[in-house]
Structure 1
Amino acid sequence: MLRRIYELGHSVTGTISFRRKAVDRTMKALFCLAAVLVILPLFIIFFDLLIKGGKELKLTLLIDLPHPVGEPGGGIANGIVGTLVITLLTMMWSVPTAIMCGIYLAEYGKGKFASAVRFAADTMTGVPSIIMGIFGYILLVLPMKRFSAWAGAAALSMIFIPVVVRTTEEMLRTVPMTVREAALALGIARWKATLRITVRTAWPGILTGILLAMARIIGETAPLLFTALGNQFWQTRLDQPIAAVPLQVFTYAISPYEDWHDKAWAGALVLITMVLVINIVARVLTRQKR
């Protein structure tokens, strides 16, 4: 009798164990499938661009100005330089502003005003980029009566700042409170402890957020259509229309010329490569932090 009960119990236990293992393996397979579905579009886009734009990916593409229709060659050198100029202009004042705002929210922000700032940052993160372009057009282009690099940088800063603000706040909150208390116990002023200890501790994460936000604004087209407009030549004045890679890709893509379509694919490949490099650097910094 006891042996029968033991065999029955062992059989039930084995059945339950088999079911658990089957469910576990099924869920693992579903998780792996979901992960593949997430990264698959990136590889499809990259290899499609590589196939369609690879034939135009030459040195002349990176060092020459755009040529008129019908002339062989031509490149997007002015667009690459313009993208770098607009991005640097955006970060020149957006990075300090965003970091200081994030420090305020993490270290000093309490009450309704801080909640309103967080709500505004979260809301602006989800606003379509074309709205930022229209706002930049009304705020800067119409009063100045011209498109310019400054207007483009202002429109992109409205996309850049909310992301860095929230990233800075979250990274500062990961610093243990004991670190702050130890600094204050040594008699260090709170603002000095915040800048020299708390911010320095969280700096790899903050820098990662800055790079990811930069990768996002590099590929934006809609805000620049309303503010920077684009240019087919070298432009050294920041108060004039300036070229950018997304704008040139857009111009080439909507044209009726096959040669320009090929250059659009090549320009898109250059653009996505820039974004990938920035994201890889951000991942390396995050890994070093861990």
Structure 2
Amino acid sequence: MIKKIVPKLIGGYLNTLALVAPSKVGEIGFNIFCTPLAPPVKPHHQQFLETAQLFRFTSKGVDLQGYQWGHGKKKIAFLHGWQSHSYRWKKYIQSFPQEEYTIYAFDAPAHGLSAGKYANIPIYSDAIKDFVKKVGTIDFAVTHSMGSFALMHALHHHQHLAVGHFVAMGSPGEANDFIDFYKKFTGLNDRTFKYIIDHFEKVLRQTPDYFSAPAFAASLKMPGLIIHDEGDEEAPYTHAQRIHSAWPQSQLITTQGFGHNLRAPEVVEMVKDFVMKEQLHKMGA
């Protein structure tokens, strides 16, 4: 009940503010939209993450937490989604032999053990760019949800970014999906919503329509794997189909019963198989 009431209270506050302080409501509403309710890093999360070599790096003045396991020649990077952190990759990280792979992850801005108050696609995209600059060429990037969308944005804007292969899991499709959900979830009226969209466009210098995963995917030059569950209730399966159609060198694996999180052992094996096959293909080329 409380989870349903709080968003409506926020929406009511913003709708009222639009009447008495219209010059402020756009910024406040946009900042709320970009504020993740990120889950805490619990003691058992911390215990696993501390098995890594920890490092820090900065993006746009924000201090971010990075992790490194192993010392192998091939580099794999794991990028989590909205309101998550690097622990979500535990099963994946443990599936790769550390003598063969150097495995990286980092907590996105305003997530996990990273600093920052806000996150959105451009903020996360900038963090990915700075992360790759820090660690060097990534042979395989394995991403989930918003992490997939953000990497597509980063590669679209920085086509020199050194990423060899890309696994996109449970990717959203359009920024408008998030925005429409925000409006409905909080009960924003049209006037308030327009102020927020105006501020969105002022800050990001683009309309919401611009932020489209299929549009970004069309410029991807590397081989990729898309994994998406037919029953995904957070990122509809149709997004995966559209991304696959737009991405020239992609393959699509459709799952059933694994939902949005895609943490099942079967999915871990799909990712591992893709990495192994692409390595063999490159060796035989």
- Structure number with the higher strand fraction is 2
Higher relative contact order (CA 8 A, sep 6+): 1
**Do they superpose with TM above 0.5?**
no
Which structure is larger by alpha-carbon Rg, 1 or 2?
A: 1
What's the TM-score once normalised by structure 2's chain length? 0.27
